[in-house]
């Protein structure tokens, strides 16, 4: 009756059902409180899960480079391979390159090069047997290239002893003179600085070159002397450059009784260590693996014989015949493309023999732990990255003592000029090494370095990504090696086909391959071939 009355009078629910509405209000209020609590709990739980997800995502992205591929994308591995891979991943980046040849794919490429060497040896033996009726094992090219080796050893000993004694003695005397008056300090700084520069330019710079030129050392012997000359000059500069600021800092603060001078043993270790940046201490390994040293030195010897067979089978027959032809565009183009294969093989062998085997062998003998002699330059998509990763040892020296010191002197105002100066220094030194080793001046490498190298450094910059840029980099690198191998080989044989009876200084600078004519050259049967 009451419900009908309420409906008829259209009263509110509160007036018609006061008791029920009171309970409903309490229920709704409880539900509201429960909903608010549930909402806050859900929000806290959601926020916690989001934070956990972001933390795991950051950790996963940080370890992405060192994480092996999942099983779906990689072939099944044995326990031994997984243990090696785990060691390389868990170790530092420096050890990753030590484990490079533990990877099956890289080891297969290494085996392919060994198979190619075996084919070169077999082809040489077969051709010699067919031509001579016997096996020829005289290796006359190696005997010629490394001729007068006792003179090379004596020259190196003189250079090494002078670098060991002169820079250290000059620096020690200069550091002891910095405790006097300001005028005496400036006088001794000028005196010892001039003596050091004179030693670098005359004793270490001129005399070894004079010995090489006057004794007409063959190419490989010249190369050893000049490379060691440049290396010792860079090490002497690094030693002085790193220790002079320490003495100047002591001169201002006078925190101890005398300046800190490195010990002779530290300097001697630096002269043999495979680095060009001086430090008082280096990271050291606990033991020396002499089996590892022997394997690396044997690989260097194998690369030497590999290079011998490349020149015997691919280079010498081709360039002897090409040098008999007139200089024209067609012959030049064919020569460049025919020289790409031997040029690239010599480049890769030089990289493997020196930067991987030779430096690792000395690092192992000295227990030198920092093995970052190169990085993955073969994956570079820019020439800027290629220059930084091809030879890390030389790059670090150029960066710290040429680029950064140039910016320090110019107060960081001429960065493009600093980069240009680095390219110039590197190009001049490379061309100097080749000019003295070959016995003639033909600035092919200098022009390629300063023109195309500088241009490609800005075209193939670090923002270039993707496989197409890596392909273009390798293509240009192959072509450059073909140009270098072709032009230097042509000039080498042109100077033997067309010797000058009376040559002036300009004739020595002028490329002989441009003017060597067939009717003016001596007959090939009259030439005494010394390669």
* Gap between the Cα atoms of 171 and 245, Å rounded: 12
What pLDDT score does 26 carry? 58
Which string of DSSP letters, residue by residue, matches 129-196? HHHHSS-----HHHHHHT-SHHHHHHHHHHHHHHHHHHHHHHHHHHHHGGGS-HHHHHHHHHHHHHHH
| pLDDT exceeds 60 at position 417 | yes
133: left (phi over 0), alpha (psi -120 to 50) or beta: left
What pLDDT score does 394 carry? 93
Give the Å distances, CA to CA, from 514 to 36, 325, 334, 336.
92, 11, 16, 16
Nearest one of 290, 344, 284 to 481, comparing CA atoms: 344
Give the Å distances, CA to CA, from 528 to 182, 201, 380, 519.
65, 37, 45, 18
Q: What is the mean pLDDT of residues 233-241?
A: 94
DSSP SS3 for 520? coil
Range with the lowest mean pLDDT among 76-85, 226-235, 324-333? 76-85
What pLDDT score does 458 carry? 74
Alpha helix stretches (DSSP H) within 311-381: 316-322, 329-338, 340-350, 359-365
Q: What is the pLDDT of residues 36-80, one digit of tens each?
A: 554 455 456 545 554 454 444 334 433 433 333 333 233 344 444
Q: Does the model's pTM come out above 0.85?
A: no
Report the chain's mean pLDDT, rounded to a whole number. 77
* From 172, 237, 430, 461, the catalytic residue: 430
Q: What is the pLDDT of residues 170-190, one digit of tens each?
A: 998 888 887 766 777 788 889
Return the H-helix or E-strand segment holding 429. Answer: helix 415-438
What pLDDT score does 473 carry? 87
**With pLDDT > 90 as the criterion, what percentage of the chain qualifies?**
31
* Gap between the Cα atoms of 208 and 158, Å rounded: 9
Nearest one of 163, 394, 371, 157 to 268, comparing CA atoms: 163
Q: Which of 183-206 are b and which e, b meaning 16 or more Cβ less than 10 Å from the residue's Cβ?
A: eebeebbeebeebbeebbeeebee
What pLDDT score does 139 carry? 79
Nearest one of 486, 402, 494 to 440, comparing CA atoms: 494
Every domain of the chain and the residues it spans = 1-37, 115-526
- Cβ neighbourhood burial of 18 (10 Å; 0-12, 13-18, 19+): exposed
Q: What is the mean pLDDT of residues 242-251?
A: 85
Band (387; pLDDT cuts 50, 70, 90): confident
Query: What distance separates the 2 farthest-apart alpha carbons in the chain?
Result: 141
Q: What is the pLDDT of residues 123-152, one digit of tens each?
A: 777 877 777 776 666 778 888 989 889 999
* Gap between the Cα atoms of 465 and 456, Å rounded: 15
Is 172 in the active site? no
Band (226; pLDDT cuts 50, 70, 90): very high
* Gap between the Cα atoms of 12 and 111, Å rounded: 95
């Amino acid at each position: 009756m009451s419900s009908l009355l309420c409906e008829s009078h259209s009263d509110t629910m509160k007036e018609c059902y006061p008791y029920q509405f009171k309970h409903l209000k309490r229920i709704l209020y409880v539900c509201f409180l429960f909903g608010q609590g549930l909402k806050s709990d859900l929000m806290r739980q959601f926020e916690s899960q989001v934070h956990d997800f972001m933390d795991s995502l950051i950790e996963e992205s940080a370890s992405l480079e060192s994480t092996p591929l999942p099983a779906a994308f990689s072939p099944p591995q044995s326990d031994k391979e997984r243990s090696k891979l785990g060691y390389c991943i868990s170790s530092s980046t420096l050890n990753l390159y030590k484990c490079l040849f533990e990877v099956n794919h890289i080891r297969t490429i290494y085996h392919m090069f060994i198979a190619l060497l075996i084919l070169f040896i077999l082809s040489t033996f077969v051709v010699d047997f067919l031509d001579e009726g016997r096996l020829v094992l005289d290796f006359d090219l190696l005997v010629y290239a490394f001729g007068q080796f006792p003179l090379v050893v004596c020259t190196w000993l003189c250079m090494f002893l002078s670098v060991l004694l002169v820079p250290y003695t000059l620096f020690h005397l200069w550091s002891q003179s910095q405790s006097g008056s300001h005028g005496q300090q400036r006088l001794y700084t000028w005196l010892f600085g001039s003596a050091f520069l004179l030693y670098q330019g005359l004793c270490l710079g001129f005399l070894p070159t004079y010995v090489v030129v006057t004794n007409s050392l063959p190419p490989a012997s010249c190369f050893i002397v000049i490379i060691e000359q440049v290396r010792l000059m860079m090490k002497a500069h690094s030693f002085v450059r790193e220790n002079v600021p320490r003495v100047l800092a002591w001169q201002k603060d006078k925190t101890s009784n005398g300046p800190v001078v490195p010990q002779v043993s530290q300097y001697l270790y630096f002269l043999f260590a495979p680095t060009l940046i001086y430090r008082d201490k280096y990271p050291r390994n606990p033991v020396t693996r002499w089996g590892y040293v022997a394997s690396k030195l044997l690989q260097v010897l194998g690369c030497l014989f590999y290079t011998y067979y490349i020149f015997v089978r691919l280079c010498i027959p081709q360039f002897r015949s090409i040098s008999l032809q007139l200089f024209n565009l067609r012959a030049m183009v064919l020569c460049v493309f025919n020289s790409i294969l031997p040029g690239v093989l010599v480049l890769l062998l030089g990289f493997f023999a020196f930067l991987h085997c030779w430096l690792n062998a000395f690092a192992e003998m000295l227990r030198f732990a920092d093995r970052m002699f190169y990085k993955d330059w073969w994956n570079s998509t820019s020439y800027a990255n290629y220059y930084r990763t091809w030879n890390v040892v030389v790059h670090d020296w150029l960066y710290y003592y040429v680029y950064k010191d140039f910016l320090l002197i110019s107060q960081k105002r001429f960065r493009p000029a600093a980069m240009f100066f680095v390219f110039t220094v590197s190009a001049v030194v490379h061309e100097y090494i080749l000019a003295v080793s070959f016995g003639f001046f033909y600035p092919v490498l200098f022009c390629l370095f300063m023109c195309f190298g500088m241009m490609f450094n800005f075209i193939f910059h670090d923002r270039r990504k993707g496989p197409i840029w890596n392909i273009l980099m390798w293509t240009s690198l192959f072509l450059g090696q073909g140009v270098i191998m072709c032009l230097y080989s042509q000039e080498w044989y042109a100077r033997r086909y067309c010797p000058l009876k009376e040559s002036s200084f300009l004739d020595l600078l002028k490329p002989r391959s441009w003017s060597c004519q067939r009717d003016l050259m001596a007959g090939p049967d009259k030439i005494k071939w010394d390669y």
